[in-house]
Structure 1
Amino acid sequence: MVEELSNYLKKCDIEVVAAEDFTIPATKVDKHRILVLPSYNILEMIEEAVDEEGSLSDYVHNQLEEVHRLSVEDVFRRIVKSRLLYTDISSELQNLDGKNFEDIYRAYSLIWEGQELIDEQLSETETESFQISEEWVQDRLEDDALIVMELPLASGYEAPLWVPMGGYNECPLPVYQSVIVKYWQEGYGIKILAVTEDTWIFQASSRPQTHQEALKLAQEHFIFCQYVLDEFPSLGHYADYLMKQDVWFFWWD
């Protein structure tokens, strides 16, 4: 599997590392050094992309055209529309055309109405940043090797296209992931640390400075991946985390 994946990723700067030789890759100032944990789901998505476009690089090129056409509000709007589709929320409230982020989030919050989870009161949290460990990696390996991929700092948002995962369950399509990563890259200087078949791990270079900024970022994360609140009592607790910690962990069931 690793051999097939590395062949598809040959246009990128990659290193294949045997599982027994693996150590956590050191970060680089001017690069995203991304730990890619191979999986058959990722391989299958790449194969589908290649079948449609002819090559992975052609797929990335064509998807980037869409990434540059879409605004981040377009993407949040589309994600929330898909979440509202199978609810009993009225069609009038589901109509998000032309709505700004505040209105988009307000519609999304209707899914969780009445739950303490969406409480926005800033609350102290002692939750520590997630740390990638060799044990965490070994527990998720589906092969006897893995891949370290480097991308230029400005091109990090291409990672969800080179390593497509998502588009099923609540995980956004790779093209939507790319738009949002680009937006966060511009706003918070995020670096991409790792990707698996169901996980992205980012590290922010800057943190939100006010409660209001942190709350909006928490709302964005919650739309992107509802499971960010699995470890927190409420949105307000998560906003406090984002003001204190740099690592953003997104996992989809």
Structure 2
Amino acid sequence: MEFLLALASIMMVNIVLSGDNAVVIAMASRCLPPKQQKMAILWGSAGAIGLRVILTLVAVVLLQIPYVQFIGGILLVWIAAKLLMEDQCAENVEAGGSFMTAIKTIIVADLVMSLDNTLAIAAVAKGDYMLLGLGLALSIPLIIFGSQLIIKIMDKYPVVVYAGAALIAWTAGEMMISDHKIGPVIHGLLPAWLIPAVITAGVLGASVWWRKSRREQAAGAGQSVQQ
């Protein structure tokens, strides 16, 4: 009974912590053809779990390295902007290239976002790595279901894509100010919410500007062809 309770606890903690991972998987794979989309979700979810198992073994050490979380936050900012600015499903012509790009994006984002989350999972596992692996593996179907649900919502309500990118950008800001070298300096000068808010606003603002510029360029090109 104790084993089953611990197993359920690991699954619940992982599900709660996997919300942002599901958003990344959904955003990175939503423009792929249906068959490749399913494969990207499957491999992305399995990759997220695999990385979480590995990182649980080394997370405590990694988080003590100066600037690791800050650099991870910068990577997440790039991923949030990339997913939002490349959200042009009609332009995904090279299916193979798009599939590999989606997998790479998912793996990098999972690697960054799983780093500090694994500490909570390790605390529940209490050193029982068989229990840890089993609990995380059983969570894969739930992450897959969550990713597929988010894709359907994004397809029906495209504005949700911006909400997903905002969540990733906010997570990036929180990770940057959690760095044990830079965090104390920032907390001493600024409110804790300010950096994540500025980063989120910057990613969304840059994306809106970029998309507007693309539309204007396309309109200008169309007029030139007609002339």
Same-fold call, TM cutoff 0.5: no
TM category, shorter: under 0.3
More strand by share: 1
TM-score by length of 1: 0.25
- Structure showing greater radius of gyration is 2
Query: Which structure carries more relative contact order (alpha carbon 8 Å, separation 6+)?
Result: 2
